[in-house]
Structure 1
């Protein structure tokens, strides 16, 4: 685990990006201008780094140091290469079980999902570089340390991971209410990847069109949906039940 998970200052963040540090997100001060600031903006765009423009008060809360209008969150873990992870899993002889998270935004949900994934033998979690929850202190705490045990991959777009999975013979199953099939109607026995959507929107419609199967949880009460981490746990344990 990396000890320093935050970098502040325009030049420091620029140097971190150039040094290929694993940066989860950069917070930039709204309305700031200048040569260094423009250089940093350009680097962020070139490297596809997740960023947002925030009031100076937000940056002041993130650090008491002289941030100069930029604070970067550094991931405490090293991310895995998707191609290598899939190849190693297939070569191991195990029946692959992967988890795709389509822009899940809440770090505590993310942590809870990682914890359940570790308990259910998930071979890897795939997230998108932009728009998803970062791996930070809250993620680590909620995962009970499982974040250091489950391989996590970052891709430019979740569709990239889906296409790769499907090309390797891994079925992509969407957790969505937009189907008549429940989790008990779908087979999880063969190599598969379960895709979970974000807390508010669910799975992106353009992504949903590309899946191999859809399944939902039967809801018997009046509330129309479950917390995404709870739903994910139900899906993963149905996969475990079918495979035992």
Structure 2
């Protein structure tokens, strides 16, 4: 059976994968062994879907219906391949404006960022497969539906993707309090990807190390940081301002 956010039951999950649904993660009851489960595990490996053996209680907390020990989370959106999308943006004659999100785990922050990105005409949001807020009903609602309009690219490695962007002529501008330059001094009037990190740990060192430019948003009060969705909106709209 299926809801907006998950599918339960072994055959239903197998059918969803075979039909090309965007299955993000599969929970399988610990110790469950039968022919259908082996078929499901093979499919999961073939399609490189994250799978986890979990206690039955974890699945029961999500649904009490006849799940047969199997539950899969489905994405309400279709993901886009950044390597396919980027050339099409260049072909329009526009300087691409991309947004890279690193370790943004709060669903509401992610939704709010997506809303600002769509309103500002961001060409794509790039997110990692792991360590990222799951795109479900809450994210869609918080984004005011923006996640149905702005392309989202899920990638295995942010660092490899950033190298690809740089090789494609995209400047990587990282928003970090560790920077010396204020964000308004950055050059957004060119092909750019803005990188935002979580409020707790910021941008990962591996990503920060390969950024072309590091920019900070000045803080004049006693609070140490802005909400990441506010910071993202400031960075995005600085690009809009400079390009206007």
TM-score scaled by length of structure 1: 0.89
What residue number does 1:6 align with? 6
SS state at 2:181 partner: coil
Asked if the contact 1:179/1:215 (under 8 Å) is kept, the reply is: yes
Distance 1:231 1:38, change over 3 A: farther
Asked if the contact 1:97/1:122 (under 8 Å) is kept, the reply is: yes
Distance 1:98 1:140, change over 3 A: same
1:32 aligns with 2:31: yes
What residue number does 2:171 align with? 171
Task: Return 167-176 or 48-57, whichever deviates more.
Answer: 48-57
Aligned length: 242
Distance 1:183 1:50, change over 3 A: farther
1:144 aligns with 2:155: no
1:185 aligns with 2:185: yes
Distance 1:4 1:137, change over 3 A: closer
Q: How far apart, in 2, do the equivalents of 1:43 and 1:206 lie? A: 32
What residue number does 2:91 align with? 91
Asked if the contact 2:32/2:69 (under 8 Å) is kept, the reply is: no
Q: Structure 1 runs of 4+ off > 6 angstroms?
A: none
SS state at 1:126 partner: strand
Cα distance, 1:190 vs structure 2: 0.9
Q: How far apart, in 1, do the equivalents of 2:119 and 2:150 lie? A: 10
SS state at 2:164 partner: helix
Q: How far apart, in 2, do the equivalents of 1:199 and 1:70 lie? A: 34
Task: Return 40-49 or 20-29, whichever deviates more.
Answer: 40-49
Q: How far apart, in 1, do the equivalents of 2:4 and 2:187 lie? A: 43
Spell out, residue by residue over 1:132-176, the C-alpha distance to the aligned partner (whole angstroms, 9 max, x if none). 222211111101111111011111111232122111111011111
Segments of structure 1 that go 5 or more residues without pairing to the other structure are: none
Asked if the contact 1:181/1:215 (under 8 Å) is kept, the reply is: yes
Distance 1:46 1:130, change over 3 A: farther
RMSD, matched Cα: 2.2
Cα distance, 1:97 vs structure 2: 0.4
Structure 1 segment 38-57 matched on structure 2, within 5 A: 40-41=40-41, 43-52=43-52, 54-57=54-57
What residue number does 2:242 align with? 242
Cα distance, 1:114 vs structure 2: 0.7
